[in-house]
Chains A and B, each alone.
Chain A
């Protein structure tokens, strides 16, 4: 519940600078987590939580309105969440159209997979990206609600 007007509640400039710069690198870390998630520790959910933490710091440091002014993308969090969930659902249920049971994946086990480094391009990757978008979107919506000044909190 930090609002930009209240100077005694505003964190110092160091935090603000770090908060402003952090979302970029956090996206890199998230991408790395998703990419190596199929061989080592990491998945879409963990990646999403890391980006959401960076976004949380932005909200804490700048306050709700300023954060959304600085990163206009944050206003589209609901679309992100819905898009992510749809992507995840699509990657889970698309085999129905091919007459296979849900959560089958393409290329099927044993078939040739295109690789970029350790990253294998197959449909579960889309699922992970969907989960990542969903987690980032939902947590940002939550942050948006918690960061609103008191008076606006009612719909």
Chain B
């Protein structure tokens, strides 16, 4: 019941808001209000799920297998909560200033509907449908601003991600062909008996589709143009909320549906992740533009998630979940801070930068610590060295940009300050990142519960 309402509210609100002129303040604030309502609903749902276990609902009162199965487990609600939070921050950031296009508020709310839906579905094809709802909204969002840079960013983003979607669809067809079902848990059960070459091919298809969303190394080519080209709020939404699809997909499909294939290719994934970390880190150094640096940094940061996934096991997966959450918060904070000027913003950006580098007492430290634990458990010296190198790289590029953007005396640094509300929003995100670092237990417990749901209760 709660699940359906959490889905219904952003959907109806989004459709209604798209119809009105989003440049009016009322409409923008209504969007913020409906996102807040969604966040509250998802929070209640999350509390229910964490307290009372996984919830399931079959549409139409049909038996499972005929009707569409929606299932909210700890992993799903964690990602749904995080994504709606980032969307709320992005929408509020624009609403305070002035929304520049008619459709922006409605699209953000529709994006929330798509993301919530895909995180709580237990069916591969329904996943695809919500995935496309979310992606279509984000294609339109990436053109937000309407200037040349944004338009080119939108073209690149749309073309590349459409291809990714079709590769996903091809893999769905393949999975249905060899297993005869679309329910995630049944696919996982039957995949064991399938010809290993076929299952590996299908798993590779899913991997490519999600890597494209996430911007992992060999599929990252679109990312710098898009993140640097779009407006800060949109970049925050794309990297903090839409990219969660990729991280969630890798976890759900990798660890939940294709655990055997994940184990087989673990080393290859870890190597790809390592290349991603080094590539992103090295290219981020020396970027003059803050947004461009953040884009390359994003490529590096998602590498950690892949490395943790490649190592696998409960420890590795917990680290992967934790790091995806932390990374998404970091990116939302940094992109929003890069679009804001005035008092506190330098400190907020510094907190984000420290968090990316993994310096205590920020959330990033907790993430890095979990990754270290993964490295130690796996007994891999290379992994620990990689983590140190990655952190040093991120410290270097973050503070280069920090210095350029905030330490310079003169007209740019002193330029007109952003509205107080906008700065307050960035400050709240910064405090959240700090709080998660100072009191990491809830986050750790949440990640552990999410992985438990993924491994023990079966995929779904």
Contact = CB atoms under 8 A, between A and B. Distances in A.
A155 interface: yes
Majority secondary structure, B binding face: helix
A103 B101 contact: no
Contact of A103 (B16, B19, B67, B102): B67
Given A78-B19, A101-B4, A155-B101, A86 B61 contact: no
Contact of A93 (B8, B18, B101, B146): B8
A96 B16 contact: no
Contacts of B57: 101-102
Contacts of A86: 12, 15-16
Contacts of B15: 82, 85-86, 89
B61 A82 contact: no
Given A89-B11, A155-B101, A155-B146, A104 B60 contact: yes
Interface string B81-102: 0000000000000000000011
Interface string B1-33: 100110010011001101100000000000000
Nearest to A154: B146
A105 interface: yes
Given A93-B8, A101-B4, A103-B67, A82 B18 contact: yes
B350 interface: no
B27 to A, nearest CB: 14
A45 B16 CA distance: 21
Given A96-B1, A155-B101, A155-B146, A104 B19 contact: no
Among B61, B68, B146, max chain A CB count under 10 A is at: B61
Interface residues of B, number: 20
B11 A103 contact: no
B44 interface: no
Contacts of A82: 15-16, 18-19
Interface residues of A, number: 17
Contacts of A89: 8, 11-12, 15
A21 interface: no
Interface string A83-95: 0011001000100
Contacts of B5: 96
Nearest to A90: B12
Given A82-B18, A155-B101, A102 B12 contact: no
A145 B61 CA distance: 42
Given A89-B8, A93-B8, A102 B19 contact: no
Nearest to B58: A101
Interface string A135-151: 00000000000000000
Contacts of A78: 19
B60 A103 contact: yes
B4 A93 contact: yes
B59 A103 contact: yes
Contacts of B67: 101, 103
A101 B60 contact: yes
A103 B19 CA distance: 25
A104 B66 CA distance: 12
B366 to A, nearest CB: 38
Contact of B59 (A85, A99, A102, A154): A102
A89 B13 CA distance: 11
A101 B61 contact: yes
A138 to B, nearest CB: 11
A45 to B, nearest CB: 14
Contacts of A79: 19
A105 B60 CA distance: 7
Contacts of A85: 15
A105 B58 CA distance: 14
Given A89-B11, A101-B4, A105-B60, 20 more contacts: A78-B19, A79-B19, A82-B15, A82-B18, A89-B12, A89-B15, A93-B4, A93-B8, A96-B1, A96-B4, A101-B57, A101-B60, A102-B59, A103-B60, A103-B67, A103-B68, A104-B59, A104-B61, A155-B101, A155-B102
Nearest 4 CB-CB pairs, A to B?
Answer: A103-B59, A82-B19, A103-B60, A102-B4
Interface of B: 1, 4-5, 8, 11-12, 15-16, 18-19, 57-61, 67-68, 101-102, 146
5 contacts: A96-B8, A102-B4, A102-B57, A102-B59, A155-B146
